[in-house]
A and B are shown apart, each in its own frame.
Chain A
Amino acid sequence: MIKEHIVKSFDRDLESIQAKILKMGGLVEAAIANAAKALETRDLELAEEVRRNDKLIDALEDEINEDCATLLALRQPIAGDLRTILSVMKIAGNLERVGDYAKNLAKRTSILVQVTPIEGTAGAIRRMAREVELMLKDVLDAYIHRDAALAQDVRNRDEDVDQMYNALFRKFLTFMMEDPRNITACMHLHFIAKNIERAGDNTTSIAEQVIYLVTGETPEDSRPKADTTSYESKGEA
């Protein structure tokens, strides 16, 4: 923020909301990281922790929405303040979605530990989750520092996540064709990969909110997309 408000309690309200967003961001980052780690190391306890912590994330989103509604009603923010509140509400929604994807990942982990692991996929999923986690960290930094360039960079990096997802998608198809006994595991792993890919998309939306917050304009160019699996058939795999 460029300057302080004359009414200092306005600044305190805004800061408290932003502190909550950052706390929520930290929890979601950890959720994605831990969910991927639990999957790779087949750690049911860690998976359970991810599921438990999602309640905290959901509660924070509710709190943020309530705080925003109160601030809108009582302070009638305009210009940069208004954009802050609008973006905070959307970012909270996006973070909550990412938290849900992490929870879903943890849920599927408890099923996956009961079946034979698919060679080499857990590591790939871990790398993909790591990339999303880094994007999330950077986008939160971009938010704190009002850095539109960093947000744009995050937005561009979603392409890498999409490509990792494409590669995994092909791998799963191959495994399933090779041996139908792989289908259960592959289906779950595919949903996991898809969820991480969706988490990347939500992170990209957050990046767009940061750009709107800083510049007042929503990026109009269509963002780079590399998820081509909708066009693939098993023949090409």
Chain B
Amino acid sequence: MNDMRRVERAVETNDLKITARNVQVHYGDTHAIKDVDVDILDKTVTAFIGPSGCGKSTFLRTLNRMNDTIDICRVQGQIHLDGEDIYDPKVDPVQLRAKVGMVFQKPNPFPKSIYDNVAYGPRIHGLARNKADLDEIVEKSLRRAAIWDEVKDRLDAPGTGLSGGQQQRLCIARAVATEPEVLLMDEPCSALDPIATAQVEELIDELRSRFSVVIVTHSMQQAARVSQRTAFFHLGNLVEFGDTSQIFTNPKDPRTESYITGRIG
């Protein structure tokens, strides 16, 4: 099956950004992720799909060590970002999360001004030498998140005063402000209306020219629309991982077929 979008949306690279090998995650006694191997390509959108509780979000969170914040969570296996083990004790998780940014399901702007929301990351990571630098970063990030025109006249207004779709794009602006190399998105559109969803999806496609995006979504159509590679998780296993066009026209595993076509699987 040819993907018609290839013409304009071809994956130009086969460079590996993240390699995960034999990843196991336990929450206490629960075995949440079972021996998962995944390669995330650079400058590519990878979608994780699967029923609730299949481990897709858990796996996403291993990629920037968000699971470290959960006491009972144990992660085993190797996850390398550009060949470096991110679970190496020498790696500072805060630095790692600047490189591997994250956007959550519910827009969660800080209770600060729009400007400070975006400036927060660059400030703590010391990315700006002076106010002019910071202004530039804030503007660039807001532009990249396709929200600049809507907020440029009210940068001092609280971020929490924006609409849901705007808040989510503000969070994306905040995530891209630290110049991450990978952007993790955990159901970024589930709280948004179709227009805001389309804006975020368009944004994801644009962000792909700069870095890898990994998106967890419950919307099969969204996975089909935005991603080039799709991974299907089920009961903690990675069942199938392949080109999005293949997964949605001719999945190889009957469990994938059952799930994506809306059958009991």
Contact = CB atoms under 8 A, between A and B. Distances in A.
Contact of A78 (B254, B261, B264): B261
A4 interface: yes
A68 B263 CA distance: 20
A6 B248 contact: no
Given A2-B254, A216-B249, A216-B250, A80 B264 contact: no
A79 B264 contact: no
B201 to A, nearest CB: 15
Interface in A49-80: 76-80
Contacts, number: 46
Contacts of A83: 249-250
A3 B221 contact: no
A81 interface: yes
Nearest to B224: A78
Interface string A1-15: 011111100100000
Which bucket holds chain B's interface residue count?
A: 10 to 19
B221 A76 contact: yes
Nearest to A82: B249
B163 interface: no
A82 B257 CA distance: 11
Contacts of B264: 3-4, 6
Interface string B215-253: 000001100100000000000000000000001111100
Contacts of B224: 78
Nearest to B257: A79
Interface residues of A, number: 17
B123 to A, nearest CB: 44
B89 interface: no
A7 B261 CA distance: 10
Contact of A6 (B220, B221, B263): B263
Nearest to B247: A79
Contact of A2 (B1, B250, B258, B260): B258
Contacts of A4: 263-264
B262 interface: yes
A6 B251 contact: no
B238 to A, nearest CB: 18
A80 B262 CA distance: 11
Contacts of A232: none
A79 B262 contact: no
A3 B248 contact: no
A45 interface: no
Contacts of A216: 1, 249-250
B220 to A, nearest CB: 7
Given A76-B221, A79-B256, 11 more contacts: A2-B258, A5-B261, A6-B263, A6-B264, A78-B224, A79-B249, A80-B257, A83-B249, A216-B1, A216-B249, A216-B250
22 contacts: A2-B257, A2-B258, A3-B264, A4-B263, A4-B264, A5-B263, A6-B262, A6-B263, A6-B264, A7-B262, A10-B262, A78-B224, A78-B261, A79-B248, A79-B249, A79-B250, A79-B260, A80-B261, A82-B248, A216-B249, A216-B250, A217-B250
Interface of A: 2-7, 10, 76-83, 216-217
